[in-house]
Amino acid sequence: MTAPKTPSGPPHAPPGASPDRAAAAGDHPADRAGADRPVPGADLHLELPAGGARRTALARALRDAVRSGRLAGGTLLPPYRALAADLGLARNAVADAYAELVAEGWFTARQGSGTRVAEGAAAAAAPAGPDGPAPEPPLHDLLQGKPDPASFPRGPWAASARRALAGAPTEAFGPGDPRGRPELRRALAAYLSRARGVRAGPENVVVCSGFANGLRLLAAVRPREWAVEAYGLPFHHGILDAAGVRPYPVPVDDDGVRTGELPGRARTALLTPAHQFPTGGRLLPARRAAAVEWARSTGGVIVEDDYDGEFRYDRKPVGAVQGLAPGHVVYAGSLSKSLSPALRLGWLVLPDHLVERVLAAKGLRESWASALDQLALADFIECGAYDRHVRRMRGRYRDRRDQLVSVLAERVPQARVTGISAGLHAVVELPPGGESPALAAARAAGLALDGLSSYRHPADPAPAREGLVVGYAAAPDAAFARALTALADTLADVRAGTRGGPH
């Protein structure tokens, strides 16, 4: 489309525009490009009502776009000639609307650099909520499940990504294989066999975008009766509920789930054997054997969520249950704890009879896990960088765990801290009635953490256990000591004001 020629005069001023208005609208480089050329500029979606004053409607639409956050502070607006052409308006109308919003402080304009949304305009325009200002963010992040984001191995990962990109076969840039890249499946099969005792070949590995994605796939192909641990991640409970799964909660204690109580009517059992989530118990050998016997006798399948199996501190890592019965166990893992949840990569190691069913549920096109990230991870594992990173983080998290235990032992010796032999979190147990005041005091002190009772399955008939689930991996080094002091002060204050206190 070619805009009509403008009369002589300043190249950025529309016909009849005053110098003040032209300056307010900004001297956009695109407006100096020449009137006979196609009008360049960024697209901007605006809906204007039919009829009425077009300039007024445009100004209102622009204000609304800033208020809603669609136009963030600093955003460069299209040149008024381009916007006028896109909206079918006279250039004078757009220039006048820009000038009006500049005068009101919504936009800023500098000669030669165009018109931009003023910094802070959206915040200044936002009305106060019905409950007043937004609450202050927590000072200290002690939420479970988060690895240390500052420790992500940027250099080694970048080197693996470069090598993977340079060596990627041409077909890697086409439609993906629902199984995942063969390079990654080979690397995972070798690593899991060596490090976790998993018995499977690449043909049993299916790459997914994390454990949640894998759980959805399994829920789609398994019978609707599932045994679940009485304490687990509510998000996982929600996935199974959305899939129509009927849950049978199984009690847990200090030694993990009581596998002798797995119900015969269930055909799938979702377990966390290496480190029960969130209570922290390690499944004893006798209970592992009982779980395998349950699966064999019922024709059932165990879904083994090995969410933090690499991070054991006080004894050698416990091998995967899958190694005891590969035909009855789905081994599931991801990078969310060991590297970063931002990578969105996970895997299922499936018994032979489930591979094709899971692939059918997944579909013919891999729409989740990036092929380039898969290739980078394959290189990262094969060059040894993954092992080095895990060993480094194991030492770092052990030190964090030791700090937590030491501070609480000194400041609140009555507190019982459990689940500390592995993982990225611990549980501070509390007596009945102690969790609610402890959480309230912790949040008042700027601590972000969860209560143990919030992880109890809603179908579990037993009374809820109470405590604080304390993540010790994500807080920055400079703030971790202060966070532990605030936690200890909170527990001490709650104990002083609550009969019984932490035990």
User: DSSP letter string over 84-108?
Assistant: HHHHT--HHHHHHHHHHHHHHTSEE
What pLDDT sits at residue 387? 97
Encode pLDDT of 76-118 as tens digits: 989 888 888 888 888 898 988 898 888 878 888 877 778 889 8
Task: Provide the sign of the torsion angle of the four alpha carbons 122, 124, 130, 133, taken in this order.
Answer: positive
What pLDDT sits at residue 441? 94
Residue 366, pLDDT > 70, answer: no
Encode pLDDT of 28-52 as tens digits: 555 544 444 444 557 888 888 876 6
Residue 129, pLDDT > 60, answer: no
Residue 340, pLDDT > 90, answer: yes
CA–CA distance, 79 with 6 (Å, rounded to integer):
15
Average pLDDT, rounded, for the chain: 87
CA–CA distance, 407 with 387 (Å, rounded to integer):
30
Q: Let me know: does 66 contact 34? Beta carbons within 8 Å.
A: no
Mean pLDDT of 435-441: 94
* Strands annotated E in 416-489: 416-418, 425-430, 447-448, 450-451, 466-471
- Give the 3-state secondary structure of 172-203: HHCCCCCCCCHHHHHHHHHHHHHHHCCCCCHH
What pLDDT sits at residue 493? 87
For 304, the token pair is: 């083994």
Encode pLDDT of 451-461 as tens digits: 999 999 999 99
Residues 171-199 as b/e (b if ≥16 CB within 10 A, e otherwise) read: ebeeebbbbbbbbbbbbbbebbbebbbbb
Mean pLDDT of 487-492: 94
What pLDDT sits at residue 176? 82
Encode pLDDT of 272-331 as tens digits: 999 999 999 999 999 999 999 999 999 999 999 999 989 999 877 788 999 999 999 999
Residue with tokens 């776009």: 65
Residue whose C-alpha is closest to residue 252's, from 287, 218, 223, 220:
287
Residue whose C-alpha is closest to residue 278's, from 105, 121, 470:
470
What pLDDT sits at residue 15? 43
Residue whose C-alpha is closest to residue 154's, from 337, 334, 306, 342:
342
CA–CA distance, 481 with 500 (Å, rounded to integer):
27
Residue 131, pLDDT > 60, answer: no
What pLDDT sits at residue 40? 52
Mean pLDDT of 223-232: 97
Q: Which of 109-123, 153-167, 383-397 shows the lowest per-residue confidence on average (mean pLDDT)?
A: 109-123
Q: pLDDT band for position 12 (50/70/90)?
A: very low
What pLDDT sits at residue 154? 97
What pLDDT sits at residue 81? 87
Beta bridge mates, 38: 2
Residue 342, pLDDT > 60, answer: yes
Provide the 8-state DSSP code for 51: S
What pLDDT sits at residue 100? 86
% of the chain residues with pLDDT over 70: 86
CA–CA distance, 349 with 303 (Å, rounded to integer):
10
Residue 13, pLDDT > 70, answer: no
* Strands annotated E in 408-491: 416-418, 425-430, 447-448, 450-451, 466-471
- The structural domains of the chain, ordered by start, are 19-125 (1.10.10.10), 153-384 (3.40.640.10), 388-497 (3.90.1150.10)
Q: How many CB atoms lie within 10 A of CB 319?
A: 16
Residue 270, pLDDT > 60, answer: yes
Encode pLDDT of 152-163 as tens digits: 999 999 999 999
CA–CA distance, 432 with 440 (Å, rounded to integer):
15
